[in-house]
Chain A
Amino acid sequence: MNFNASLKIMLWALILMLSVQTARAEELLMVRIERPFDDAINDLQIAIQEHGYQVARIQRVDVGLASGGYATAEYRLVFFGKPAEMREIEDRYPQLLPYLPLKIVIFAEGNSALALSYNPALLQTFFKIDPLQSRVQQWEKDIRSILNQLSRP
């Protein structure tokens, strides 16, 4: 085999490997927190703030369900973001607003809790806005780190 041919094959192998990897990114990020719910949600808020984000609101879904007469364990939505980033997106890329601010769902499962979020990388799959690439990567990194921090005992 000559040099060019082997180069070509290796290049293709590389491209294939990279594309398989990006196509297969985890779209949903979820962790188990081996602590009672109240501790878990407390730690979640701290972790969000430690990563430089502001908690915008905590929606108590369980309270809504209970008021409708449905039995449920604790179930909350935690909305968060960086104010300047959110304002910039509002001005420049309002098409993203239905998916923002960032959100982590947290609910009780017996004596532990589960927390999950969609992978922010999904926003790039959905909207393909090049100037937002690095921002979205940062969000992914932070959300992974927040969730990992929680999953540690």
Chain B
Amino acid sequence: MIPKKVQQRFFIPAIIVGLALSALSTSTSGAALNGAALYEHYCAACHGNQGKGGVGVPLALPDFLAVANDDFLRKTIRLGRPGRVMPAFQQLSETEVDAIVAYIRGWAPAHTAIVETSPIKGKSERGEKLYASFCAACHGDRGEGSHGTGVTFSRPRDLPVLAPALNNPGFLAAASDVMIKTTLIRGRQGTPMLSFLKRGLNEQDIDDIVVYVRGFAQKPLPLPVKAGADEPPTIERMSPYGMQQTLDKLKNAIGGANLRLIRTESFDQAFAGKEKENKHHVVVDSCDFNFLNQALKIDPRVGLFLPCRFILSEHNGKVSISAVNPKRLSEIFNNSELNQLCDQMYKVYVDIIEETVF
């Protein structure tokens, strides 16, 4: 029989280690450490099953994989691109990240990776001028990248592949100066990103541009990344009116805001059928298709906000009106441009609701 003292000494820590291990393994759950499966689960929706691109940029490009070393890929996966759709995958284990990186590597022939990390020297003021004439048209005046994401839905767009944000803290933390320089020298065949040696810049010009791009790290981002994290999930107001009057006023307010009224029905009508429906919770759906059309260019996933829905609830004779708070929901998209649109949508919702209860 093991003495009690010893039992405690080894048994309790063993339980804790066991628990800790099982906690770790939940993040690996199901998917064995198989790079292809992990890639399909976490990345393929945006980057395509074969890395050909979609919402995200293509990854299976020989010119990209020739300049991106494993450290760049690992950091990009971990840090994401804050405010630029690409999520930060903090929940993955080291081995999972490595498995994904190895899988992505398989798309290009073996190469000698860039290991050089020492900073490049150059003149930022010169780089600024060159940047304005050679880069800003695609990557934005302040390095903010092109608008929207890669999915087009047969919509016309100026670039077949999105130009990434160069001012992004995730990009700047992952990319070394030498990687940026080599990207400018080689370009990326199959995308609008060209070789700037071939476009007539010399090595000194390129160094100056690299130094200027590096300097984006010191400048504030043009758009905030986390804008709505502290917002309440819904917008809600009490109505001084009864159900029918609130409903009538809401419909007027919706029309006044130029939204198209889609339908009015009890919340559970589709489930319960007309006879059994609960008339205390009424859904009013509407949509501004012009606004939606704009929003889809910024992020094809905005359907999650649709339709513009108002809920009227009657409880003990008191009527309240509520809606999703677009500012809060926008947080889960990691898209700063979308945050801006959601600010506008928030104002429209508040105006409609306040006019209803006025």
| Chain A residues within 8 Å of B, Cβ to Cβ | 3, 6-7, 10-11, 13-14, 17-18, 20-21, 24-28, 30-32, 34, 54, 56-57, 59, 61, 64-65, 67-68, 70-73, 75, 77, 79, 81, 83, 86-87, 90-91, 94-95, 97-99, 101, 103, 105, 107-109, 114, 116-118, 122, 126-127, 151
Contact = CB atoms under 8 A, between A and B. Distances in A.
17 contacts: A3-B8, A14-B16, A28-B304, A31-B45, A61-B292, A64-B260, A64-B287, A70-B293, A75-B296, A94-B311, A95-B234, A97-B267, A97-B281, A103-B304, A105-B306, A117-B304, A151-B40
A107 B153 contact: yes
Given A107-B153, A151-B40, A64 B304 contact: no
Interface of B: 8-9, 12-13, 16-17, 19-20, 23-24, 26-27, 40, 44-46, 48-49, 54-55, 87, 90-91, 151, 153-156, 233-234, 236, 260, 262, 267-268, 270-272, 278, 280-281, 283, 287, 289-290, 292-293, 296, 300-301, 303-304, 306-307, 309, 311, 313, 315, 322-324, 328-329, 331-333
Given A32-B45, A90-B281, A118-B332, A17 B20 contact: yes
Contacts of A95: 234, 236, 322
Contacts, number: 164
A97 B234 CA distance: 10
Given A28-B333, A65-B293, A21 B26 contact: yes
A127 B233 CA distance: 8
Given A97-B281, A98-B324, A68 B20 contact: no
A31 B233 CA distance: 25
A72 B296 contact: yes
Point out which of B12, B90, B154, B270 has the most chain A C-beta atoms below 10 A from its C-beta: B270
B324 A105 contact: no
Given A31-B45, A77-B307, 13 more contacts: A28-B333, A65-B293, A68-B289, A71-B156, A97-B283, A98-B233, A101-B271, A103-B304, A107-B153, A109-B151, A114-B151, A116-B303, A151-B40
Most buried by A among B44, B45, B55, B151: B45
A21 B27 contact: yes
Nearest to A73: B153
B155 A72 contact: yes
